[in-house]
Every structure is written in C-alpha cells, then in structure tokens.
Amino acid sequence: MDNLLEVKNLQTHFFMAEGVAKAVDSTTFSIRRGQVLGVVGESGCGKSVTARSIMRMVRPPGHTVDGEILYSRDDQNGQVMTLDLLQLPATGTEMRAIRGGEIAMIFQEPRASLSPVHRIGDQITENILLHQSVTQAEAEDIAIEMLRQVHIPLAEQRMDAFAHQLSGGMCQRVMIAMALSCHPSLLIADEPTTALDVTTEAQILELMQGLQADLNMAIMFITHDLGVVADMADEVAVMYLGKIVEQGAAADIFRDPKHPYTIALLESLPRMDQRREWLQTIRGVVPDPYITLKGCPFHPRCADFMPGVCDEILPQPITLEDNREVRCLLYTEHAHQESAPVAEETSHQ
C-alpha cells in the first residue's frame, strides 16, 4: 500500500500532578498519499494531541512515550524512503524541515492562530523563506500567488493587513495559503471550520477540496462533525479515549458502522427526514482521563456491553472485510452472540 504516514502504537501521555493522562494511548492508523483521512471523536478523545504528536509539537507536560510514526518521502533520486519521525530530535534541523515544509498544519481558531502584531505577508513569506531557497522578493511573489489561490480578493494589499482586520474565514484562508505555500505532502487540519459559521465553513471546505485535488496532497482532517467528514473524507478513523476504535472507507463506515461507539455517534446525528421528540445521545460522559478503565474503555457507555467480557479484556484491532479495522470484542470469539449486533433498534435511553 502506498502509505504516506503510518502511525503505530502511538502513546502520548500528559504527566500531571493529578496523575498520568493517556491522551493518546496506542493509536494506530495510516494515511495514504493524496487521500483525505477524517479523524472524528468527542472533545478530549486525543485527536488534536495525535496531530501534534505527528508534528512533534507536543508541549510539556505532554510526552510521546512510545510508538512509531513512519513517514515516507521521496529522496533526491526519486526513491521512496521511510523514516520514523519519533526518532528525530523534535527541534532538530531535519524535523523542522519536515514541519511546515512537508507536513503543514492549520488550526481551530484562525484569527488567534495568526500573530496579532505581524503582517499577513510577513507570516507567509517567513514560511516560504524557511523551506525554499528563494529571495525575499520571490517569496513575496509566491505568497501573493498563494493568497490568490485561496481566493483572497486584493491579494497584494492583503499582504500588509493584520489578522484583526480580516474576518475569521479570511484568516483561515490565510492560514491555508501559509500552510500550502511550500506544497506539503500532508496537511493536518485540526478542526479548521469549527470556529466559523456554516456558510463560511462550506466555502472553506470547498476550497480545501479544490486545493487537495490540484496539489495532490493528503489531508488529515480532524473534526467532531460527522457531516463534514462525510463531505470531505475518503477514509474515516473514529477515536475514543486516545484509541482509534474503527477505521475504514468513509462510505462503508457511514453505511454500515461496526463499532458500538460509531453506531451511537451516527445515531445521535439529528436528521431532517425524521421528527423526533428527543435527540438521540450517547449515555454518560467521557470518563476521567486519569483513570485507566479495565477492559474496553467504552464499556461503561456501550449499548452492547457484555458483562464479564468487555470490562475484563482490552480489545485489540481486528481487520474485518473491506479493510475495516475495529477494536471491539463483539467481533471476536469472546462474543456470546452468534452474530454481530444490530444496534439501530436498541434503546439507549
């Protein structure tokens, strides 16, 4: 398989006075070249920390304690070589060349993500000058061209603007222009449209889709919005409590979710074609991050909880048909039932 990035058994923990919070706990997934991977999950499930672990930007008290992040790049001879990003010093020359140059990132709060006291143009050209051997004037030309590509009107004038003079949507366009200015092979988008209104969100998503096709880059699209994932992603990874509980082709997952958590997530989507008194929710809340649950981390909230099994055994990823990976004991010999559960009729209330 033509994997651009392969994350294996990634563990990023936060060492706090209250204890160790395992924000990312043996996460395994992969992103293919030119593909959009949607990573979904509730707040605090480890999506953003996973992204920062890949960028090697986790700040203390967080530390990536174990795992592999295998990144494939073309060397000078056009040969594909793979290196483990976790083996590189986080602030070393090589990792810094990859960061911003080959793997770029955009963030949730577009205006706060731009410096309040530096001009837009200065911030974009900085990125270009860091990764390409061009002059200041050439870098400015590239920056203007990038601003045009993200459909910012009057691109030349906007170079001198400050973040607070632009709308949130415009700021996110600037962030995208900056991130893509060095043609990265992977763009990590950490909830890039969460802070925007729906109209702007739609525009930004459309822009990202267009650029993704033009530049043939992969996108790791982090969101808690299943609608956005359905719109954007080729493949979906569902995350719960620091683990990927299900990964597969987007179409397959939406049509036939396997993990009880994925099923519950999809059921809690409000639907236009059904009138309901109550919005379907997942019972309970995300547990305390400092407590390590025995067995499957989802078992206290699971509709298909099997006593004596789910609270005892930690499920490992299993590959089902059509390349679906699921971390659930229902699909193992531990399940009492003969067949996998069909969850749509079960009441969660």
Partner 1 sequence: MREFILRRVLQLIPTLILISIVSFTIIQLPPGDYVTTYVANLAAAGEELSEEEIMALEAHYGLNQPGYIQYIKWITNFVQGDMGLSFYWDRPVNRLIGERLMLTMIMSFFTLLFVYAMAIPIGIYSAVRQYSLADYVFTFIGFIGLATPNFLLALIFMYIGIKAFGASAGGLFSTEFLDAPWSVARVWDMLKHMWLPVVIVGTAGTAGTIRVMRATTLDELGRPYVETARSKGLREGPLTMKYPVRVALNPILSTVGWRLPEIVSGTVLVALVLNLPTTGPLLWRALMSQDLYLAASMIMILSTLTLIGTLISDILLAWVDPRIRYGERGTT
In the bound state with partner 1, the residue whose beta carbon lies nearer, of 121 and 248, is: 121
| Residue 98 is a binding residue for partner 1 (CB under 8 A) | yes
Q: How far is the CB of 117 from partner 1 (least distance, A)?
A: 6
Of 207, 237, 302, 208, the closest CA to residue 54 belongs to 237
In the bound state with partner 1, the residue whose beta carbon lies nearer, of 114 and 250, is: 114
| Residue 177 is a binding residue for partner 1 (CB under 8 A) | no
Segment lying near partner 1 (by CB under 8 A), choices 29-37, 159-167, 253-261, 322-330: 159-167
Other beta carbons less than 10 A from residue 249's beta carbon: 15
**Stretch 102-131: interaction string toward partner 1, x if CB under 8 A:** --xx-xxx--xxxxxxx----x--xx--xx
Residues in the chain: 349
Q: How far is the CB of 266 from partner 1 (least distance, A)?
A: 31
Contact 184, 217 (CB under 8 A): yes
Q: How far is the CB of 182 from partner 1 (least distance, A)?
A: 9
* 66 SS3 class: strand
In the bound state with partner 1, the residue whose beta carbon lies nearer, of 195 and 309, is: 195
Q: Distance between CA 39 and CA 47 in Å, rounded?
A: 7
Q: Distance between CA 125 and CA 287 in Å, rounded?
A: 44
Q: How far is the CB of 315 from partner 1 (least distance, A)?
A: 33
Task: Out of 13, 47, 99, 327, name the contact with partner 1 by CB under 8 A.
Answer: 99
**Stretch 178-207: interaction string toward partner 1, x if CB under 8 A:** xx----------------------------
Other beta carbons less than 10 A from residue 58's beta carbon: 21
CA–centroid distance for 32 within its chain: 14
How many positions of this chain bind partner 1 (CB under 8 A)? 34
β-pair type (325-326, 318-319): antiparallel
In the bound state with partner 1, the residue whose beta carbon lies nearer, of 22 and 52, is: 52
- E strand residue ranges, the chain: 3-16, 19-32, 36-40, 62-74, 80-84, 103-106, 186-190, 218-223, 235-240, 243-249, 318-319, 325-326
> 170-192 b/e with 16+ CB inside 10 Å = b?
bbbbbbbbbbbbbebbbbbbbbb
What radius of gyration, in Å, describes the C-alpha atoms of the chain? 21
Contact 218, 37 (CB under 8 A): yes
Q: Distance between CA 135 and CA 140 in Å, rounded?
A: 9
Residue whose structure tokens are 């067949």: 339
Q: How far is the CB of 123 from partner 1 (least distance, A)?
A: 8
Residues 131-150 that bind partner 1 (CB under 8 A): 131
Q: How far is the CB of 217 from partner 1 (least distance, A)?
A: 15
In the bound state with partner 1, the residue whose beta carbon lies nearer, of 117 and 272, is: 117
| Residue 97 is a binding residue for partner 1 (CB under 8 A) | yes
Q: How far is the CB of 34 from partner 1 (least distance, A)?
A: 21
**Stretch 55-94: interaction string toward partner 1, x if CB under 8 A:** x-x-x-------------------------------x---
What is the token pair recorded at 36?
């959009």
What is the token pair recorded at 11?
């563990």
Segment lying near partner 1 (by CB under 8 A), choices 80-88, 96-104, 226-234, 318-326: 96-104
Q: How far is the CB of 163 from partner 1 (least distance, A)?
A: 8
Q: How far is the CB of 36 from partner 1 (least distance, A)?
A: 19
Q: Distance between CA 208 and CA 202 in Å, rounded?
A: 10
Q: Which residues make up the interface to partner 1 (CB under 8 A)?
A: 55, 57, 59, 91, 95-101, 104-105, 107-109, 112-118, 123, 126-127, 130-131, 162, 164-165, 175, 178-179
